[in-house]
Amino acid sequence: NRHWVGPQVFTGSCAHTSQRSSGPRSRTAVTAAAESCLAQLASMTTLSIDTGDLTVIKEYAETGLITDATTNPLFVSQAGLSGDPVYVALLEDAIAYARKSSTKEDDFVELAMDKLAVNLGVAISKLVSGYISTEVDPRLSFNKEETLRRARRIIALYEEAGIPRSRVLIKLAATWEGIAAMKELESEGITCNMTLVFGFAQAVAAAQYGARLISPFPGRILDFHKKLSGKDIWEPEKDPGVVAVRRMYSYYKRYGYDTICMPASWRPSRGAGHDLDEIEAARATGNR
Ligand SMILES: O=C(CO)[C@@H](O)[C@H](O)[C@H](O)[C@H](O)COP(=O)(O)O
Ligand SMILES: O=C[C@H](O)COP(=O)(O)O
């Protein structure tokens, strides 16, 4: 499957963009129907594509509707394991870099993984004009000092490759330790995307400590409520993931936080075949 993730590959942030391209649109594999849905979403919000598949990113970036991109460890490992020569080259470069620069075996694997994530991010940075998110190894989510070391190293690798930190969001799990690390990184001009946000308290703490952006997961909140209640179908307005994101977004607006709220993990509230629910859901969060 050339498309590593399903058709739901977009996250919408709540900041209106000034970066959206106004350049000419070229039609590629993006269907007219998909482009029309995207245009509706893009009129409300900034869109960030949620995949590491460079072909897909290029196709959608060329519509002029997508300005940002977000990766995660799964996408990086899918690239590394794909066998496609484009990603094999990124992987070989990462391994060669780690061989040259590391000493201990552990350091070698970690450095190669960070360099691979950055190589993928650098390739993406040539396709989109806005932010690219690169995640710190989530196994460090409860270790503030290691999180800081790896986040700073990811930024150093980007800068070595000629990509300024202003283009990068360091993605960290919104645990207490992740939020404490984020506070230090933000003070160094390293902007952060606090991910794995499932609850209001995480969203509030991330904003109070100065996060540039949060990624709540309405889809997984919905999964949880479906399992808990046995109820499978929700109206977009009442979808518990939508309700949770609306509350976070409203809090930011009410108290003047400029932290961007970028929900990821959207699902059609009414289930398969109701893809437009995602547009309804974005509207229902107050995301305009
Ligand atoms: O957190 C962000 C965006 O910052 C995403 O990349 C996020 O990792 C992905 O959307 C989720 O992992 C996808 O979640 P799901 O659809 O599997 O529930
Ligand atoms: O940023 C999000 C996480 O990396 C998601 O990880 P997961 O899909 O393995 O839960």
Convert the pLDDT of each residue in 222-275 to its tens digit. 999 999 999 999 998 999 999 999 999 999 999 999 999 999 988 888 877 776
Whole-angstrom distance, CA of residue 52 vs CA of residue 117: 10
Share of the chain above pLDDT 90, in %: 70
Q: What is the pLDDT of residues 83-98, one digit of tens each?
A: 999 999 999 999 999 9
Residues 119-148: what's their mean pLDDT? 97
* Predicted local distance difference test score (pLDDT) of residue 169: 98
From 171, 226, 227, 231, active-site residue: 171
Q: How confident is the model at residue 125 (pLDDT cuts 50, 70, 90)?
A: very high
Whether the complex's predicted ipTM surpasses the cut of 0.90? yes
Whole-angstrom distance, CA of residue 250 vs CA of residue 155: 32
Distance of CA 215 from the midpoint of ligand 1 (Å) = 8
Distance of CA 97 from the midpoint of ligand 1 (Å) = 29
Edge-first strand order for the sheet with 132-135 is 10-13, 46-50, 68-70, 132-135, 168-173, 192-197, 213-216, 260-261
Distance of CA 138 from the midpoint of ligand 1 (Å) = 13
* Predicted local distance difference test score (pLDDT) of residue 3: 37
Whole-angstrom distance, CA of residue 64 vs CA of residue 43: 12
Q: Ligand 2 pocket test: pick from 9, 71, 72 the residue with the most ligand atoms within 8 Å of its Cβ.
A: 72
For the record, the structure tokens of 172 come out as 């960290």
Q: How confident is the model at residue 149 (pLDDT cuts 50, 70, 90)?
A: very high
Can you tell me which atom of ligand 2 is nearest the CA of 171? 1
For the record, the structure tokens of 49 come out as 């594509």
Closest among 152, 146, 165, 254 to 212, alpha carbons compared: 165
Q: Is 193 near ligand 1, meaning CB less than 6 Å away?
A: yes
Structural domains for the chain: 10-284 (3.20.20.70)
Scanning the structure block, which residue is given the tokens 């000419």?
Answer: 24
Q: Is 216 near ligand 1, meaning CB less than 6 Å away?
A: no
Distance of CA 196 from the midpoint of ligand 1 (Å) = 8
Inform me whether the pLDDT recorded for 116 exceeds 70. yes
Provide the β-strand partners of residue 48. 11, 68
Pocket of ligand 2 (CB under 6 A): 72-74, 135, 138, 171, 195-196
Whole-angstrom distance, CA of residue 66 vs CA of residue 13: 11
Mark whether 58 is an active-site residue. no
Whole-angstrom distance, CA of residue 215 vs CA of residue 198: 9
Can you tell me which atom of ligand 1 is nearest the CA of 219? 18
Query: Residue 132 in 3-state DSSP?
Result: strand
Query: Residue 196 in 3-state DSSP?
Result: strand
Q: Is 134 near ligand 1, meaning CB less than 6 Å away?
A: no
Residue 44, number of CB atoms within 10 A of its CB: 16
Share of the chain above pLDDT 70, in %: 85
* Predicted local distance difference test score (pLDDT) of residue 97: 96
